[in-house]
Chain A
Amino acid sequence: MKKLHLILLIASAALLLVAPNFLKNYGIYLLSYWLVFIIATMGLNLTVGYAGQKSLGHAAFFGIGAYTVAILMKAGFSFWFGLPAAALICFAVGLILGFPALRVQTIYLAFATLGFNTAVWLVMRNEEWLTGGTFGINNIARPELLGLSLEGNLAYYYFVLAVTVILALLLWGLLRSPWGKAFTALRDNPIRAESLGIDIRRYTLLSFAIGAVYAGIAGALFASLVNFIEPAPFTVASSIMMYLMVVVGGPGYFLGPVLGAAVGVILPEWLRFAQAWYLFVFGAAVVLLMIWLPDGLLSIPERLRAKRQAREASAARAAAAQQAASQAKQLGAQA
């Protein structure tokens, strides 16, 4: 890893560990909220950014994870049972959602995922016996870990931070393994990939399934974070926001979700000083950001490098042209 990256990493790690001690309750809560969305966005980044699929239904998995934990805890099970249950259910459902992806072209795949999200949301809203309908499920407790209560905002924050780091490391490992290249090949040229022996069907299904697991775990953490869940955060609009977070951060960049989730969660908070205009500024900022950086925020280093190379190349050409001109002049003077 480059030296600069290492320094940045250590600095941010220090910040994440220490800063919350100086923040008020709401600040800590916001940071936890941000971390939860980093996890969810990491999953979507895998599906959309690395594997090149279209998924506008990610919030559905987020919701399935949240409701799984909420329902199980209400039925008397522990959070520590609910969390893996949420992950497993989302993996299975994610696999199933991958099947339309095998048969359907890009734009229609996006619509199919929207339809899926809609179906899940309708179930959440209407099946009161299971989900509490529009009234939702409340009093979702925060768990205990090895006797330590995670009830307090600070304690829960550190817990969520630990989960985020673990999941990030696992994803990093996966992407570094041959799977990472297989996903990229699937994204950039599926026909060539297949002719090289890459099973694009399997990798497509898995990109949906793994992405779903991340969203499901994020949802489980979300449920205990906010203590009360109802269908509203799991609509198509939320899926679209998550998609926005991936694209703004930089699809296919590992740390894209960190920035993207910050833009989606923290930026609107910062903009509150603009009062009634803050969402307008946010929307305008997103438009301008996309026009300026279509590959996301993390594409800035690459763009700078490309600009520098272009400058050097044209400077070299100019120098060569000048040399040729002066040589011609010399020859001309001699003739």
Chain B
Amino acid sequence: MTDFLQLFLSGLSTGAIYALAALGFTLLWQASGTINFAQGEFVMLPAFMMLAFLSAGLPLLVSFLLACLVAIAVLGWAFKRGVVDPLFKYGMMPIVVASIGLSIAMRNGVRAGYSAEAHSFPSLFADQIYNIAGVTVTLQDIGTFVLALALVLATQAFLAKTVTGRAMQAVAQNTESASVLGINVPRMIFYTFAINAVLAVAAALLVTPTYLAKFDMGESLGTKAFFAAIIGGFNNSRGALLGGLIVGVCENLAAAYISPAYKDAVALVIFMIVILFKPQGLLGRKEERKV
């Protein structure tokens, strides 16, 4: 039983990171109809940015903040203005393909331009292990889970409770009505992209210590986040959290109880089951085919 709890708890921690990436993914879709196949690389790039700042001698938190600023500028503003805005009126296809190209470019740009190897990354948390009622958990796990969860909940609170957040939601639900109400639609969409960028940097900060920084770290993470977002419910921000946690926990359990080889297949299988029986996701609203 303690084994199970241990696996469950550390799964929660991984799942919370998936939730960060999945949340940003869902927000982008809701606000601008963008399917960002480069979401994993959006986490990978800040990891390397922080590494660069760290090797320049800056402390971890400063590197994180700087990376946030750069990410907002590049993954937020530049991505929106350069890629999404021009392609918005052409439907889904060009944006999807552009994001595919972007993910290939980012991945291989880092590989060729920086390094093809894995690099270690300092953790926010000290190397400590706790023993609570017979269950062993690392500080890393607890800290990651708490921070990621806090960030997700803070984002959702921001969206639900602040004026700006509600304006962003209005834009996501009905862009025309929102602009008629006087909401600055392009700016709200930019804020969404900015939030996504920050969530990605946070995910990088939390996940890289364990999984190391490598040019292809985004592939698996991006895929899992994508599946997590769909499993939770693509048109519902809370779905991202649920989906992420489910994937994280089930992966961990499957790796231990079934076989490590099946770890990656777990997200796929859950995804397939959900798609078959509830294509709008566990928490998603059913969207009928429009008459």
Contacts and interface: CB of A to CB of B under 8 A. Distances in A.
B101 A243 contact: no
Contacts of A111: 230, 234, 275, 279
A317 B43 CA distance: 51
B257 interface: no
Q: Which of A54, A278, A290 has the most CB of B within 10 A?
A: A290
Interface in A278-318: 278-280, 282-287, 289-291, 294-295
B98 A248 contact: no
B212 interface: no
B82 interface: yes
Contacts of B271: 114-115, 118
A316 B251 CA distance: 66
Q: Which of B103, B104, B109, B230 has the most CB of A within 10 A?
A: B104
A283 B101 contact: yes
Given A107-B35, A280-B108, A247 B276 contact: no
A17 interface: no
B102 interface: yes
**SS of B interface (majority):** helix
Interface string B261-291: 0000100110110011001100000011111
Contact of A283 (B29, B104, B287): B104
B91 to A, nearest CB: 9
Given A105-B287, A115-B275, A115-B276, A291 B112 contact: no
A105 B289 contact: yes
Contacts of B104: 279-280, 282-283, 286
A280 B105 contact: yes
**SS of A interface (majority):** helix
A240 interface: yes
Given A251-B93, A280-B108, A191 B291 contact: yes
Interface string B197-220: 000000000000000000000000
Contacts of B70: none
B122 interface: no
A278 B109 CA distance: 9
B150 interface: no
B289 A247 contact: no
Interface string A75-108: 0000000000000000000000000100111111
Interface in B222-250: 230, 234
A106 B29 CA distance: 13
B100 A104 contact: no
Nearest to B112: A276
Contacts of A243: 96-97, 100
Interface in A104-142: 104-108, 111-112, 114-115, 118-119, 122
Given A112-B275, A276-B111, A276-B112, A283 B96 contact: no
A105 B291 CA distance: 11
Contacts of B268: 118, 122
Given A107-B35, A294-B87, A279 B92 contact: no
Given A282-B104, A283-B105, A286-B97, A291 B272 contact: no
A66 interface: no
A295 B230 CA distance: 28
Nearest to A56: B96
A124 to B, nearest CB: 12
A41 B95 CA distance: 19
Contacts of B280: 108
25 contacts: A103-B289, A107-B234, A108-B279, A114-B275, A115-B271, A115-B275, A122-B265, A243-B96, A244-B101, A276-B108, A277-B108, A279-B104, A279-B107, A280-B112, A280-B113, A282-B104, A282-B105, A283-B101, A283-B103, A285-B101, A286-B101, A286-B104, A287-B105, A290-B95, A294-B90
Given A112-B275, A114-B275, A240-B100, 10 more contacts: A111-B279, A115-B276, A119-B272, A247-B96, A277-B109, A280-B109, A282-B101, A283-B102, A283-B105, A287-B98
